[in-house]
Amino acid sequence: MNIIVGTAGHIDHGKTALVKALTGVDADRFPEEKKRGITIDIGFAELDLGEIKIGFVDVPGHERFVKNMLAGAHGIDAVALVVAADEGVMPQTREHFDICRLLSVRNGVVVLTKTDLVDGELLEIAEMDVSELIAGSFLEGAPIISVSAKTGHGIDELKKELQRIALEIPARKNEKITRLPIDRSFSMKGFGAVVTGTLISGEISEGDELEIMPDRIPVRTRGVQTHGKSVKTASAGQRTAINLGGIETGEIARGMILAERSSMRPTHIVDVELDVLDLQPIKNRRRVRIHLGTVEALGRIHVLNETGVIAKGQSDFAQLRLEIPVAAVLGDRLIIRSYSPQITIAGGRVLDSTAVKHRKRSIEKVRSFLTELSTFENDPGRSLELFIEKARRAGTELSDLKAQTGWKTSILQKAVNDRAAAGSIVEADRYFLSSEAFQLLEQRTLELIADFHDREPLAKGISRETLREKLHPNLPAEIFKAVLAGLEKKDEIRAKDVVMLSSHDTELTGEDSAIFDRLKKIYATAGFEPPKLDEALADAGTGTKRNAAHIRKIFQLLLDQNEVAKISEEFYFKREKIDELVAKLQDFAQNSADRLIDVAEFKEIAGVSRKYAIPLLEYFDREAITRRAGDKRLIMAKK
């Protein structure tokens, strides 16, 4: 069993001394920290209680270093709220405690330190002070343990309480993508780049192919350590050090995320649900500091309501537009601090990490979507269904759903299979659409084909590419193919080289029928010396009121019905004559030692002049009936 406990509290209230008393490790790593006697950056230590191993994240208490505190506070399972008995609750006690509440920490213990400096009366006052602070919070009713790091008083009792808390915390489920927000990076001689952080989800093993987000730098795991020991695999909830190959230390910085490849997407825009503290309201377009995982990013808040304000102590939806790219998934917790002076004013959770800028008229629809997301954050089936519905006709891929929801591929695959079986979503190769979006595509497809038939009654059908472009300019080919296949299965369309309604009839009547018959006769009687196309069309239309364009559409019916074959832009031959000529070529080849024929021999066999011989031979080349061999043609064997 592994849990992470974070310390929280005001400067000089004994957090680092407490961690040392518990673990024997001085979490202050830097000479400046030891010289000044204050913690500047986050430190780490481990407490081994047999089957339970507790990783401590010791955070600085000074107000100037809250951003460092925030880098360590993410991913903790429980908090040790430290209050010095000789001072009681102080400003950073309150801010750290607010941060823990906003990060949705649900477990913890209150520790009154420096009890060797106070008498019973002062200790009782300190207990009352801290009880008032935690009233109505997740720590209400939690034990308040009095300790002295100097004398050792209460340390064993605190260890027992931490052990009890660890046993009550549910084990982290292995259902989310692997992510380790980086809080430290350094180089070790002979090893190269090393990163550390709390593995908030998934597993990391030696040899894993991962990437550094949001820069998408591919890396490979060369070694893994937890609790100071080399291991084959680290699991969620452990403080972890990873030796990386394929990257230099200078390319890594606090705030980046080590994640499984292609599992996340960098973004500058996220939709969130914010909980505002009772300090000040949040107004539209306010510039703030956003703490997400171990990263601090500047950005602006765009409130997603009609008033443009989230009042003190209230919750509402907002969009964060960040000045640097970040990587996040559904449910990630964040903290909002004012730009200046730097104080914590709100916190919340990420809902949509693939958001776009919203227009005023779409706000209500966006709010409805975010409300559902906030309700079904922990439901893989419904959350992915919502993102599929959001994608509408463009559909979405499994990799996109993974980046949005954070669920592992196996969890998502089961969820989409269940939803597809229930009929709420449709799978089109690698894309997923809501059944409603797919039905709308089918309906629109039928409308477009019917409209084409109305405008072009003599045409066999609309070309596939033209139909796809009209249906949706960016529609993936896989979705378009699935739409046509579905309509064909229902016998509503026929889709070959062109697409037509099954009910479409190109039967001609009256004058058009007479023109069609004349065209058939022209090519039937022309044999191997047909007229040019323009001449044939003019001849067929003699004495009618039909223009050349209309007659050309009637001629297209000859092509659609395979009555004639297109040899070149000018010449078309009766299909029977082409078949007859192919047979003559095969007879010639059987009586030839090398199956080769030159132009002169071809002219003699076909009984045509060079005017027709060259276009015919080029046509046969294209149809793979012949193949050029120098100045001759090789007659291909029958397939």
Complete DSSP assignment for 32-51: HHHHHTS--S-EEEEEEETT
Which regions of 372-438 does DSSP assign to beta strands (E)? 396-397, 425-428, 431-434
The Cβ of residue 178 has, within 10 Å, a number of other Cβ atoms equal to 23
457 against 623, higher pLDDT? 623
- The set of residues, in sequence order, having a beta carbon less than 8 Å from that of 577 and lying 6+ positions away, is 527, 528
611 against 639, higher pLDDT? 611
Q: Which has the minimum average pLDDT: 33-37, 93-97, 414-418?
A: 33-37
- The set of residues, in sequence order, having a beta carbon less than 8 Å from that of 109 and lying 6+ positions away, is 78, 79, 80, 81, 139, 142, 143, 145, 158, 161, 162, 165
Distances in Å between the Cα of 295 and the Cα atoms of 41, 78, 106, 155, 326 are 14, 21, 22, 34, 8
* Residue 59: both structure tokens together: 């955070």
Question: What gap in Å lies between CA 542 and CA 445, rounded to an integer?
Answer: 39
What average pLDDT score do residues 311-316 get? Answer: 96
Q: What is the pLDDT of residue 41?
A: 64
What average pLDDT score do residues 385-391 get? Answer: 95
Question: What gap in Å lies between CA 253 and CA 119, rounded to an integer?
Answer: 47
Q: What is the mean pLDDT of the chain?
A: 90
pLDDT in tens, 97-136: 998 999 999 999 999 999 999 898 899 999 999 999 999 9
DSSP string, 95-158: HHHHHHHHTT---EEEEEE-GGGS-HHHHHHHHHHHHHHHTTSTTTT--EEE--TTT-TTHHHH
Would you say 598 and 632 are in contact if contact means Cβ atoms under 8 Å apart? Answer: yes
Distances in Å between the Cα of 487 and the Cα atoms of 302, 445, 479, 490, 492 are 44, 9, 12, 5, 5
Q: What is the pLDDT of residue 66?
A: 66
Point out which residues pair with 272 in neighbouring strands: 318, 350
% pLDDT > 70, the chain: 95
Residue 638 — very low, low, confident or very high, per pLDDT cuts 50/70/90?
Answer: confident
Tokens 């596939």 found at: 464
* Residue 283: both structure tokens together: 């107004």
Question: What gap in Å lies between CA 486 and CA 490, rounded to an integer?
Answer: 6
Backbone φ and ψ for 176, nearest 5 degrees, come out as -110, 160
CATH top-level class of 179-260: mainly beta
Point out which residues pair with 289 in neighbouring strands: 298, 337
Point out which residues pair with 462 in neighbouring strands: 499
Task: List own/partner pairs for 141-144 with CB under 8 A and 24 or more apart.
Answer: 142/108, 142/109, 142/110, 143/109, 143/110, 144/110, 144/111, 144/112
Question: What gap in Å lies between CA 596 and CA 629, rounded to an integer?
Answer: 8
Q: Which has the minimum average pLDDT: 179-183, 393-397, 541-545?
A: 541-545
- Is pLDDT at 171 greater than 90 in this prediction? no
Q: What is the pLDDT of residue 63?
A: 58
The Cβ of residue 51 has, within 10 Å, a number of other Cβ atoms equal to 9
- Is pLDDT at 39 greater than 80 in this prediction? no
Backbone φ and ψ for 622, nearest 5 degrees, come out as -65, -35
Domain 507-639 has CATH 1.20.140.10: no
| Closest alpha carbon to 214 in 293, 273, 286, 272 | 293
Tokens 């919750």 found at: 315
- Is pLDDT at 351 greater than 50 in this prediction? yes
| Closest alpha carbon to 227 in 447, 1, 430, 536 | 1
CATH top-level class of 2-168: alpha beta
Question: What gap in Å lies between CA 502 and CA 495, rounded to an integer?
Answer: 9
Q: What is the pLDDT of residue 34?
A: 45
Which secondary structure element, helix H or strand E, spans residue 586, and what is its range? Answer: helix 575-590
- The set of residues, in sequence order, having a beta carbon less than 8 Å from that of 527 and lying 6+ positions away, is 574, 577
Question: What gap in Å lies between CA 245 and CA 75, rounded to an integer?
Answer: 25
Q: What is the pLDDT of residue 386?
A: 96
229 against 352, higher pLDDT? 352
- Is pLDDT at 2 greater than 70 in this prediction? yes
Q: What is the pLDDT of residue 456?
A: 80
Q: What is the pLDDT of residue 67?
A: 66
Buried residues in 218-228 as b, exposed as e (16+ CB within 10 A)? ebebbbbbbbe
Would you say 411 and 396 are in contact if contact means Cβ atoms under 8 Å apart? Answer: no
Residue 69 — very low, low, confident or very high, per pLDDT cuts 50/70/90?
Answer: low
Question: What gap in Å lies between CA 386 and CA 78, rounded to an integer?
Answer: 32
Would you say 66 and 344 are in contact if contact means Cβ atoms under 8 Å apart? Answer: yes
What number does CATH give the domain 266-368? Answer: 2.40.30.10
pLDDT in tens, 399-443: 999 999 999 999 999 999 999 999 999 999 999 999 999 999 999
Which regions of 169-238 does DSSP assign to beta strands (E)? 179-181, 184-188, 192-198, 203-205, 209-213, 217-226, 229-231, 233-235
Residue 214 — very low, low, confident or very high, per pLDDT cuts 50/70/90?
Answer: very high
Treating both helix axes as pointing N-terminal to C-terminal, what angle do 610-622 and 599-606 enclose, rounded to 10 degrees? Answer: 100
The Cβ of residue 343 has, within 10 Å, a number of other Cβ atoms equal to 16
DSSP 8-state code for residue 24: S
- Is pLDDT at 299 greater than 60 in this prediction? yes
Which secondary structure element, helix H or strand E, spans residue 364, and what is its range? Answer: helix 363-375
Domain boundaries, the chain: 2-168, 179-260, 266-368, 507-639
Question: What gap in Å lies between CA 34 and CA 428, rounded to an integer?
Answer: 61
Residue type, 290: I
Q: What is the pLDDT of residue 639?
A: 63
- Is pLDDT at 537 greater than 90 in this prediction? no
State the Cα torsion 183-187-188-189 to the nearest 10°. 180
% pLDDT > 90, the chain: 67
What average pLDDT score do residues 531-537 get? Answer: 89
Residue 33 — very low, low, confident or very high, per pLDDT cuts 50/70/90?
Answer: very low
pLDDT in tens, 587-631: 999 988 899 999 999 999 999 999 999 999 999 999 999 999 999
Residue 35 — very low, low, confident or very high, per pLDDT cuts 50/70/90?
Answer: very low
Q: Are 266-368 and 507-639 in the same CATH fold?
A: no
pLDDT in tens, 149-167: 999 999 999 999 999 999 9
| Closest alpha carbon to 581 in 615, 628, 535, 537 | 615
Question: What gap in Å lies between CA 563 and CA 556, rounded to an integer?
Answer: 10
* Residue 70: both structure tokens together: 């925030």
